[in-house]
Amino acid sequence: MCNLILRGGPAHDYAATSPMLADILAEVGVDSEIHEDFEVLEDGRLLEFDMLTLNCARWTCKQTPEW
């Protein structure tokens, strides 16, 4: 199984926690790729993955704030 981990945002050390998530998932047989480039959601590469993990701040996930 192949997983895409999208990371990024302020206030947390996503560069450190994303590999930790990948290691935990590897223990149960899930291989992960870590990306900061959210264009992977739009360029067709998303179809290469069986699973998606978001390790990011909400506003870095290209969502419109509700305020």
Kindly state whether residue 25 falls inside one of the protein's structural domains: yes
Query: What does the pLDDT look like over 10-53, one tens digit per residue?
Result: 778 999 999 999 999 999 999 999 998 888 888 888 999 999 99
Kindly state whether residue 66 falls inside one of the protein's structural domains: no
> What domain range is 32 assigned to?
2-61
Q: How many angstroms separate the Cα of 56 from the Cα of each of 22, 27, 28, 60?
A: 14, 22, 22, 7
Q: Can you give the pTM of this predicted structure?
A: 0.81
Neighbours of 43 (CB within 10 A): 8
Number of domains in the chain: 1
Kindly state whether residue 67 falls inside one of the protein's structural domains: no
